[in-house]
Amino acid sequence: MPDLFKPLIAPPTWTEGKSQALQLESTLQDLPLCQFQVDLNQTGWDLAQVFEQHPRLSGAILLDQQQFIGVISRRRLLEYLLHPHGVELFLSQPLSVLYSYSRCEMLHFPSETTILVAAQQALRRSPELQLEPILVQTSDQGYCLLDIQALNIAYWQIRGIETQVRYERTQIEMIQSDKMANLGRLVDGIAHEILDPVSFIWGNLSHVSGYCQDLLNLIDSYEQLLPDPPAALQQQRQQIEIDYLRQDLPQTVESIRAGAERLSKLATSLQNFCHIDEVYPKPANLHELLDNILLLLKSRLSSEICFIKRYGHLPPVTCYVGQLNQVFMNLLSMTVDTLLTQAVSRELDLDLKSGEGGLTSVAPEFQPTITITTQICLVTLGDRHQRWISVCIANNGPSLTPEAYQQIKESFSIKRRTLKETSLSVSYQIVTAKHGGKFEVYSPCRGMDSSSLHAGGSEFEISLPLV
């Protein structure tokens, strides 16, 4: 028999990885990997010697003339040695004989594969292969072995981290939801307090208008009966400018009426926007929701931005009003910011060109425009057609760059939302998960004439099913 302690030329080596700093996106290269290669011409005694000296070693990578052939594990070697006459058949023979008997399907991954993906696929293996090591292909086209026990430990560590992250995220969401609910109640109370005095003004304006008209009629009657009043009355009449007062007093009352009406609409819009959704959705008029949002954004809008409403005939839509208000607010606010930024950049560009002192061509007129289109569309689901509501918010601003468009699309995924939520990802979640609808982004806008001077823009389409 060969000497059991005969040293081999190339002992196994391990890369310890980064097992102490695992994260949700950790890959197989962060785990301890073993690099141990054996030629097929070596005997079973040589391999048994290495397994005896290195208890951590789970298997060996077999090579034939420096070409990868397969893997033989410690467990399979021991199983075949326990067979009748296994020692005589396999220990003295080359490893090619043993591999011809123990050949099996080996699970292998690139080193960039995440631990979560590799562990989930390893758990789907048949029971007789559950304890087999995993082959990992490194970036330099080499091969290493990963012990299944190390993979399972890392997998459950990451699952623990994932559970903790979800727990903390749920706590943050609960705190944020409670904070937003309290803020909604506060704003709703303030709007209610505003509406009370406004209703007093509104209710008394008709009486004030009538009283003023009666007093003016009385003055006219006095002037007809006393065409030549005393000098003191003449002087007082000139001081109060009675002719101007007759013209301005009705206009003043009408201005107060318009201001009270505007304040009433603003307070009502605040109440509707801060609507706290109940457990079940309720029918709502989408046109009223959009108009309320536009009224709230009126302070941020400049005369340069033009709004075009192409409202179709829509039935009431069953939805969560408060959450849908948030979606419309997010989209319209982002659209307004985009157009205002473009307008400022355009003005600065014109100022710089005019400051150069040279001849500059007259810049073509450009009207920043936001177009809101609502309509009923048919959606094919399987073998039947269903009516859906479509709300499109488009602008003629600059198109999204491919990088920005890709970032928006990636923010809709669950993985990206776990890392960082944006207003668009929240809107996508509300439309798709909460309402069972669709949320699409187009840039440039659909139907935009590519030959147009200002072709481009972006468009957000919200589609909701009609119940």
Instruction: Count how many residues are written for the chain.
Output: 467
Residue 373 is predicted with a pLDDT of 94
CA–CA distances in Å: residue 245 to residues 212, 228, 239, 240, 242:
11, 20, 11, 8, 5
Question: Block means of pLDDT (10 residues each) for the chain, length 467 residues?
Answer: 47 68 81 85 82 83 83 81 73 79 78 87 83 83 84 86 78 69 70 79 84 86 82 84 85 86 79 65 89 80 79 91 87 87 75 59 68 89 82 89 84 61 82 89 70 65 88
Other CB atoms closer than 10 Å to residue 51's CB: what's the count?
17
Residue 29 is predicted with a pLDDT of 84
Residue 58 is predicted with a pLDDT of 83
State both tokens at 174. 């609960």
Q: What number does CATH give the domain 13-146?
A: 3.10.580.10
Q: Can you say whether residue 382 is alpha, beta or left, with left for phi > 0 and alpha for psi between -120 and 50 degrees?
A: left
Domain boundaries, the chain: 13-146, 176-276, 278-354+368-467
Which secondary structure element, helix H or strand E, spans residue 14, and what is its range? strand 13-15
Where would I find the H helices in 356-422?
A: 402-411, 414-419
State both tokens at 74. 């410690």
Residue 420 is predicted with a pLDDT of 56
Determine whether domain 278-354+368-467 maps to CATH 3.40.50.10950.
no
Please check whether residue 294 is in contact with residue 332, taking contact to mean a CB–CB distance below 8 angstroms. yes
What's the pTM?
A: 0.53
Residue 6 is predicted with a pLDDT of 44
Distance CA 116, CA 155 (A): 6
Residue 300 is predicted with a pLDDT of 66
Peptide bond into 444 cis (omega under 30): yes
Distance CA 152, CA 409 (A): 33
Other CB atoms closer than 10 Å to residue 362's CB: what's the count?
6
Supply angle C-alpha 167, 173, 174, rounded to 5.
90
Please check whether residue 44 is in contact with residue 77, taking contact to mean a CB–CB distance below 8 angstroms. yes
67 has which bridge partners?
64
Residue 392 is predicted with a pLDDT of 94
Please check whether residue 6 is in contact with residue 49, taking contact to mean a CB–CB distance below 8 angstroms. yes
State both tokens at 410. 């990636």
Distance CA 78, CA 39 (A): 19
